[in-house]
Amino acid sequence: MEMSLVFSPGTDNTSPVLVNVVACKNLSLVTANDFTFSGLNIPGNTSNKQGFAVNLVTVDQFPGLNTFGVPVKRLDFAPKGLNSPHSHPRATEVLSVIKGSLYVGFMISTDNKLFSKVMNKGDVFVFPIGLVHFQYNIGDCDVEAFSVLSSQDPGVVRIANSLFGANPEISDDILSKAFMMDKKTVDYIQSQF
């Protein structure tokens, strides 16, 4: 009976149903594999502009997570690799460093105070829900880290991309006034995204 929670808050699994917009399996068809995900041992490919790769395990890869939240992700950073400032609108993130040295931080709006820290192997750091945060590899070797998120639908807002790479574009009037830069600079940055 309680299995029903695994796939839904309901009490009937005799036929496939939608819960959180994820199809439910008939209980008799459920196997241990529905609760398993493999591959977090495989490093992501960090040969890109940002020198960063993320492998997020959400309910899409992992039906057993449905209604339980707490997706898991692996993060890989090349030297100087950056997970650029972003926020998760619906989740707090707890990050553990497995290898290397990672500089992390988040800002609060009361006086824009920055909370930052250099994390080493075995350190854990929490990024409160909705706050803008970043991670940056300050060492000379690769960094491997794992994160968990407190919602199965955390979402992610990449600040620079969503402002300067918006589609359609946000008008120069707004961006130049918000960032107090001239419109030429705005246009230049937009052209990068």
Amino acid in position 55 = N
- Is 38 a binding residue for its own copies by CB under 8 A? The answer is yes
- The footprint of its own copies on this chain (CB under 8 A) covers a number of residues equal to 121
- Is 141 a binding residue for its own copies by CB under 8 A? The answer is no
Nearer to its own copies (CB atom), residue 139 or residue 170: 170
The CB-of-129 to its own copies minimum distance in angstroms stands at: 6
- Is 184 a binding residue for its own copies by CB under 8 A? The answer is no
- Residue of the chain from 26, 42, 45, 48 that contacts its own copies (CB under 8 A): 42
Cα-based distances in Å from 119 to 54, 102, 104, 127: 18, 5, 7, 13
d(CA 78, CA 47): 8
Strand partners, 73: 56, 147
Amino acid in position 91 = A
Nearest one of 6, 4, 112 to 64, comparing CA atoms: 6
- Residue of the chain from 76, 87, 101, 145 that contacts its own copies (CB under 8 A): 87
Binding-site residues for oxalate: 83, 88, 93
Q: Which residues are annotated as a binding site for Mn(2+)?
A: 86, 88, 93, 133
